[in-house]
Chain A
């Protein structure tokens, strides 16, 4: 019997770590992974609330979130590859001009 708030706290910690990673890290891929971390945290809170309300649609929604995360990952990584090709760097601080 665990209070809901513990799950939400865990979800919040994961989310906060994701945002911190986004702010601190300099490698594009690592930043992208922090986004995935954020999404995972959110998924956890969805499922926790679904468990509280005994509503299965919470799970279904998590399913959709994962689908979207997958699609987004594919496209995002493709973009990262394209950026690497033109800018020769994965450091996000170097990629700050629209035109070379």
Chain B
């Protein structure tokens, strides 16, 4: 480990998380009485400073001198176990730092325009800055415990921001659901941390990985590292919305669209992927855990994609798309292609952030409507939004030479060729890519082409067919006028993200990106050597073939969507009817929420009511207090008879007491 560098610029690393914290504090405490201009300035300034500092750091970053660590303060000293507030900068955290600050800053700018008319503007800006603080703590942490602080903190910020319009029941419930499901994942994370403390004596990355390095891979059976890996995966599944803990992400669309873009697309949900990538040393020595990660990722990708086909709310489609793309990232990590997973994380931040922001622009422009069946033909009304969203849609479908083509292709290739991978992963990945392309273009056609089907913005007759879609934004009632383009404060970030979506993948050409991240993922496991060998052996020919197949899948999806939603508009309804029950199941998200409600929620709530409330709270705690008061009353009721006011009874008591004293004295005199 190198000592802190001579370059003083790099010492701003510990300060970077504190900048948005300062902004959050100022806006939180003083924002209520400040002008919107002041709030905006504070929020954007601190966030922008963080981004600017990140750029400077990137400029002075030297791979040779990496990794850098920045111990800031002591924290826990308990015997041999110690944890400090320390920060860490290596290639992986640098990439995450740039993504988080960059995309975060753009979304902050966007939300200035989006949330301007909201009463809780200052609160929103404060929460957004607070989220940035926690996310930056997470990615810059040097040990698992500081990372956990950021982990929990982003969960908190997510809760606050999902339930931002807390007067709405559905929003408040969605916030609660997100936090609670996250906590379930955190339980697994914590157990993994405890195992690490017990067996490695530390939570510091360097120490843990140094202790893990000499261990041999657990190919024989499940051991300590498999347990840790699986538990970490539980935590990641909660935070990054994988099976079975993904249910909170679609509900999280109750929050404002910038929140969905920042937290539930670009940054927070990627924390799980980051954590798994960071723990690559552990995972590579636990093949069983890797397999579980890959399986969960692949299944989630396919599962969520199928649900996305039948959604009618534009944000819900994007939510399930996020779950699906996160599945891709986990698939990549599960087959050992950690840098591919991070690559896709980066491009996903660009195009998914862009998709959400553009969707927000669409919603904003048509007065709050989110149902795609009420949209259509909007490319005429909002050309810039149409342009940027189209770029994003083509990107996510995987068309070359846009960004996601490179990252998704990398993942599919590694899924096929890696020693942990198999053609099954690859096949399911390609099918998912096809479905992804299909539903994204479905969204594209429904929203921007055809005739405008929208009526009033505050139409109360919304079909409650699909679960809970919050349509009524209180702050976007721009009247029942025509759809209109969004202001430039919102379009600017869209354009920048579009540029990044186009060119963001070019860093992956020739393996530059993978090469850059290689020092982080050099785990020294024997499998890694085999991996490189096999990768080359499979040959360039197979790779090109597979690439062509995935591009073909993208085109197929585009064609199918064109067919169903542009050319023959009547077909979708007919298909839906003929599929009958199957379609209903997909449209209702396979009834997973209802299943969970019956399996988990209801027993817990009932148990809580019966046991904890009636038996413990009322029966024991309240009863203890009430009964002791009752006992006091009864005792005093009985004792008060002693004070009768009758002189002779008093004298009687005195005489009896005197007899007792005399007896005692006699006894003492006799026995001594």
**Would you call B645 and A23 a contact (CB within 8 A)?**
no
Which residues of B in the span 639-656 have a Cβ within 8 Å of any Cβ on A? 644-648, 651-652, 655
Cβ-neighbour of A96 out of B645, B651, B652, B655 (below 8 A): B645
**Pair A31/B645 contact, Cβ less than 8 Å:** no
Pick from B645, B647, B651, B655: contact of A97, CB under 8 Å: B645
Q: How many B residues are at the interface, by size bracket? A: under 10
Are the C-beta atoms of A93 and B648 separated by less than 8 Å? yes
Q: Which residues in A have their C-beta under 8 angstroms from that of B645?
A: 95-98
Q: Which of B61-96 contact A (CB under 8 A)?
A: none
Q: Which residues of A contact B648 (CB under 8 A)?
A: 22-23, 26, 92-93
Alpha-carbon distance between A31 and B647 when the two chains are bound, in angstroms:
10
Q: Taking the complex as formed, is A66 at the interface, i.e. its CB lies under 8 A from any CB of chain B?
A: no
Contact of B652 among A23, A26, A92, A93 (CB under 8 A): A23
Which residues of chain B have C-beta atoms less than 8 A from A98's C-beta? 645
Structural contact, A23 and B644, CB atoms closer than 8 A:
no
- Judged by DSSP, the binding face of B is helix
- Which residues in chain A, 79-100, are within 8 Å of chain B measured between CB atoms? 92-93, 95-98
Cβ of B669 to closest chain A Cβ, rounded Å = 15
Cα-based distance from A92 to B651 in the complex (angstroms): 12
Q: A26 — which chain B residues lie within 8 A by C-beta?
A: 648
Classify chain A: how many residues form its interface, as a range: 10 to 19
CA distance in complex: A98, B643 (Å)? 12
Q: Are B651 and A22 in contact (CB under 8 A)?
A: yes
Residues of B within 8 A of A96 (CB): 644-647
Asked if A29 is an interface residue, CB under 8 A from chain B, the answer is no
For the complex, what is the distance from the CA of A19 to the CA of B650, rounded to whole Å? 12
B646 touching A23, Cβ below 8 Å: no
**What's the nearest-Cβ distance from chain A to residue B641, in Å?**
12
Interface of A (DSSP majority class): loop
Min distance, Cβ B20 to any Cβ of chain A, angstroms: 73
A96 to chain B: closest residue by CB: B645
Min Cβ gap B655→A in Å is 6
Q: What CA separation (Å) do A95 and B645 show in the bound complex?
A: 8
- Complex partner residue of B655 from A23, A31, A92, CB under 8 angstroms: A23
Task: Name the one of A23, A93, A95 contacting B651, with C-beta atoms under 8 angstroms.
Answer: A23
Q: Which residue of chain A is the closest to B652 with respect to CB atoms?
A: A23
B-contact 0/1 string along A17-40, CB 8 Å cutoff? 001001100100001000000000
Q: How far is the CA of A95 from the CA of B649 in the complex (A)?
A: 13
Question: Nearest residue in B to A98 (C-beta to C-beta)?
Answer: B645
Nearest-Cβ distance from residue B580 to partner chain A, whole angstroms: 89
When distances are taken between beta carbons in the complex, the residues of chain A under 8 Å from B647 are 31, 92, 95-96
Chain B positions within 8 Å of A97 at CB level: 645
Chain B residues positioned under 8 Å from A95 (CB to CB): 645, 647
User: How distant is the Cα of A93 from the Cα of B650 in the complex, in angstroms?
Assistant: 12
**Roughly how many angstroms separate A98 CA and B646 CA in the complex, as a whole number?**
11
State the Cβ distance, B343 to closest chain A Cβ, in Å: 92
* Shortest distance from the beta carbon of B648 to any chain A beta carbon, whole Å: 6
Q: How many whole Å from B652's CB to the nearest CB in chain A?
A: 6
**Shortest distance between the CB of A35 and any CB in chain B (Å):** 10
Q: Using CB atoms, name the residue of chain B closest to A26.
A: B648
35-89 of chain A: CB within 8 A of chain B: none
Q: Give the docked Cα–Cα distance between A92 and B648 (Å).
A: 8
Q: Chain A residues with Cβ under 8 A from B646's Cβ?
A: 92-93, 96
| Distance, CA A23 to CA B650, complexed state (A) | 9
Closest to B644 in A: A96
- Write the nearest CB–CB distance from B660 to chain A, whole angstroms: 14
B392 to chain A, nearest CB (A): 90
The docked-state distance in angstroms from the alpha carbon of A95 to that of B646 is: 7
Q: Smallest CB–CB gap between B420 and chain A, Å?
A: 93
Residues A19 and B655 in contact, CB atoms below 8 Å apart: yes
Residues of chain B contacted by A31 (CB below 8 angstroms): 647
CA distance A97 to B648 in the complex (A): 14
Contacts of A19 in B (CB 8 A): 651, 655
The 5 closest A-B pairs by CB, nearest first: A96-B645, A92-B647, A96-B646, A22-B651, A23-B651
Hey, which bits of chain A sit against chain B, CB under 8 A?
A: 19, 22-23, 26, 31, 92-93, 95-98
A92-B647, A97-B645, A98-B645 known, 19 other contacts, Cβ within 8 Å: A19-B651, A22-B648, A22-B651, A23-B648, A23-B651, A23-B652, A23-B655, A26-B648, A31-B647, A92-B646, A92-B648, A93-B646, A93-B648, A95-B645, A95-B647, A96-B644, A96-B645, A96-B646, A96-B647
Q: Could you write out 9 A-B pairs with CB less than 8 Å apart?
A: A19-B655, A22-B648, A23-B648, A26-B648, A92-B646, A92-B647, A96-B646, A96-B647, A97-B645
